[in-house]
Chain A
């Protein structure tokens, strides 16, 4: 009896805190996997683990705060948030700080601020707000305006250049449009347009290093010690892990530092090497749980805005996973996308958990609205 009573109290407590218990549990599992792998790939450096723990703490607090804000508030704030982000993006191009060969940061004295991260949330908010103002499915004119909202920040971010983030920002907006019910004919037309646009991009828009990345992706062995080195070492790490893996702290590719970007973008290779196919399937299972849960929240959301926002955030999360795993295992060209909640690093962690905060708000506050 006491036990049953405790459970009910717990659920109600989580509900009162606007926390989705299942989602939180899955996210914490992922974070655990991340910490364990960072400890191994970072040369068993506790400092690294502690810094990541601090970030996770901050990000979880952000998530918790955002979960308290009702979806209606997001809807009202969407335009201001988007406008703010856009101004910041333009500012960054004008007075931004150059780091790692790209102009991504705004130096605000104490902290360095990366406006492109804001756009990962602002774009789906904006598109969901705009599309849901009208009946679904939206007419082509609205879709076109939606695309404008998506592509202005995408192009600005791509110019920094930050291919990975621009890809994520673009997909977050496009997913909102897709879920809103844009016609399949239009989807086909836009895909064809994109296909036609690719050669134009190759010859006129892409920079030398970006072309090089694509070429390297197509044939990494052509330059095994130069641009192909990352991807070759990464595939060796994954492949040599086999079914059961080499064991925690035993991955030679990572421990002996053959693998580049071990605790950041290429952490998946470390994980695959040490835990093998079995570990990888377990990790994918956790990701699938989160994505399915996100899509369930989408389906159960009360209004169109919440549905479009929740769906787009969830699918963008999947894009993170797919692009990162794809690039590390040689399926996709190398673009700087971290493995969400596992890779070491601060900015994307906060943005991601902020997204899950919004998702939890949608998940837990629907009943209040319906009341």
Chain B
């Protein structure tokens, strides 16, 4: 059958068959073309905007630009923290013809170490070829000069500058000024919580300590943005737009760098702190903690070895003793207790006690001793301060009771942070019944109250708290918050920040305050005063109070013998004081650890600093203009207590 069919072939039928199939094909082709066009319509018309956005997202990158960090000046316009260009030698592999020979020649020229070369070689492997990689960071001036002269021989190699924080006064300001260093993970989390992450997108470093940390927001500024077109490898093809960053504000501190240096000098080789504040506005003129360290070490990342050395040091250089050191305030708080006793009416000018060197309570089998073995004889309130009589204050503390002592001393700032513009601050401890219950689950015993009268027992305070309480006293209850920052530098003049004040301490009788201040005068200027020796023949009249904090409990019937006590348990020497007496400009708080008596160790140190202030600093005045009146305050500050209010009003306007 098939062969037969084969012979008769119907060409027309076959042509029709193929024609029909061809027609079906055309229909299919048209249908599928329609599908293609419909899909393209969907992509290019319906979803065009979406894809347009994604296309721009591909090619347009927004690069954050870090703002320049604000500078920090002292009250005279001396730069304390600056941004210095650091130079690094960078190689862009793509632009180098023969990388190996270039590195070899460069190594010979710049005497690169094998470590540097190896680090570089491993890091270029992780980088795009057009991204510059640094082979040496922090070039010295000599390195820069050396390479600059030969730069033309090294295509693809360049010196790049970027700004990095530098502290020219090194260890003089460390605890107060702090430092910046690389932002860590914990800080990133914090920035995210504060919705500041975007603002820090281009920032490497942030304030870690001190003023740099406290005023971080002010100093940092606002991030800028650069819109760039990039290719698929991220190479920048061109800049589309640029929104410049807003630099951080330059700030001016109340600090006087020369006074600060003097404070450092008197503490050289000793552990302790010096805090100098202005009773006029609470401004901090100097705040030094010894020993210190160089903050520049931290800016570029301190080595673990060096950091461990700082951490492990017995002298705790990382601690800011001025605001974090907790010391028994010892006799320095006697004037405050005397004031409370007077204001409470428990004692008056005529109240006298007879000090024979010991104090006993009825029914208590304990003897409290005066620092002077056989006592001071007949002592009134003025003399009690001048000679620093202990028995008077054992008795006064007994009469006041812990509740009144505790609440009144809290008014003077004890047991609370001062609110200074530093985050590294301890509230130290003002003991109370409630505190002892919470801390030891024990009731307050009457025996606990007696040593509180001489600033011992559970009471401790920071040197800054001591300075602050003295300012409250000499301002008769006016309370300025201690401030390191003075204002902002604007066009070469200072825009002064308003002074912060707390509600004043209520006065019962102003005469009581005068009694106490007079006793502070006596301590320095009258024949039996404990600070008389230290302040003999000064050109100015000062007042103050010494203190000797006992760190070693002497057994009931033993005597404190200096030679037998190890160096670490020797008394802390303390002094608080101010000058001029009738027109206070500066107040000082000195604590020197394990130095011995306050009169012979802390007071002389305080005198050196005060002498320096009155001979070198006060005559020159402040050189930096304030923005408000545009006139330089050249003469010595002539403020007195009575004009404090006016100044406050004036400055708060700025």
| Chain A nearest Cβ from B3, distance in angstroms | 10
CA distance A124 to B19 in the complex (A): 18
Segment at the B interface, from A14-22, A26-34, A100-108, A253-261 = A253-261
Known contacts A135-B9, A239-B47, A329-B39; decide if A258 and B232 are in contact (CB<8 Å): yes
Whether the Cβ atoms of B36 and A329 lie closer than 8 Å is yes
Q: By the criterion CB–CB under 8 Å, are B54 and A277 in contact?
A: no
When distances are taken between beta carbons in the complex, the residues of chain A under 8 Å from B59 are: 252-253, 256, 258
Q: A258-B59, A284-B36, A326-B36 are in contact. Are A242 and B230 (CB under 8 A)?
A: no
Neighbouring A residues of B44 by C-beta, 8 Å: 238-239, 241-243, 272, 276-277, 280
One of A46-54, A193-201, A303-311 at the interface: A303-311
A243 to B50, CA, bound (A): 14
Q: How far is the CB of A12 from chain B (nearest CB, A)?
A: 27
Q: Are A179 and B55 touching (Cβ within 8 A)?
A: no
CB of A298 within 8 A of CB of B18, answer yes
- Give the residue of B9, B17, B52 whose beta carbon is less than 8 angstroms from that of A242: B52
Q: Are A311 and B29 in contact (CB under 8 A)?
A: no
Stretch at the interface among B20-28, B92-100, B435-443: B20-28
List residues of A (133-170) whose CB comes within 8 Å of B's CBs. 134-137, 139
- Report chain A residues within 8 Å CB of B649: none
From the candidates B11, B18, B41, B233, name the one contacting A181 in the complex (CB within 8 A). B18
Which residues in window 217-239 of B have CB below 8 A to A? 229-233, 237
Which A residues are CB-close (under 8 A) to B41?
Answer: 277
Task: Specify the chain A residue showing the minimal Cβ separation from B57.
Answer: A236
B647 part of interface (Cβ distance < 8 Å):
no
Chain A residues, CB < 8 A from B18: 136, 179-181, 298-299, 304, 307-308, 311
A236 → chain B closest CB, angstroms: 5
Q: How many positions in chain B have a CB within 8 Å of any CB in the partner chain?
A: 44
Contact of B54 among A137, A240, A330 (CB under 8 A): A240
A130 CB to closest chain B CB, in angstroms?
14
- The smallest beta-carbon distance between B18 and chain A, in angstroms, is 5
Among the stretches A67-75, A84-92, A287-295, the one at the interface with B is A287-295
A181 to B19, CA, bound (A): 10
> When the two chains form their complex, are residues B29 and A291 in contact, meaning their CB atoms are under 8 A apart?
yes
Interface size class of A (residues with CB under 8 A): 35 or more
Judge if B33 is at the interface, Cβ distance under 8 Å.
yes
Does A298 contact B22, Cβ atoms closer than 8 Å? yes
User: Is there contact, CB below 8 Å, between A137 and B37?
Assistant: no
For the complex, give the distance between the alpha carbons of A214 and B52 in Å. Answer: 27
Give the residue name and chain of the A residue nearest to B36 (CB).
Answer: A325
- Residues of chain B within 8 A (CB-CB) of A180 are 17-18, 21
Which residues of the other chain, A, contact B21 by a CB distance below 8 angstroms? 178-181, 311
A318: Cβ under 8 A from any B Cβ: yes
Q: A134 to B40, Cβ gap below 8 A?
A: no
Q: Is A281 an interface residue (CB 8 A)?
A: yes
A322 at the binding interface (Cβ < 8 Å): yes
Question: Could you say which residues of chain B place their CB within 8 Å of the CB of A276?
Answer: 44
Question: Is the CB–CB distance between B37 and A256 below 8 Å?
Answer: no
Report A175 CB to chain B, min CB distance, Å: 8
Query: B39 contacts which of A134, A299, A303, A331 (Cβ < 8 Å)?
Result: A331
Report which of B5, B40, B56 forms a contact with A238, defined as CB distance below 8 A. B40
Q: List 16 A-B contacts (CB under 8 A).
A: A134-B2, A134-B6, A135-B5, A135-B9, A236-B54, A239-B54, A240-B55, A243-B48, A256-B59, A256-B231, A299-B19, A304-B14, A304-B18, A311-B21, A318-B29, A330-B43
The 8 closest A-B pairs by CB, nearest first: A239-B51, A240-B55, A256-B231, A239-B43, A257-B232, A136-B14, A277-B44, A181-B17
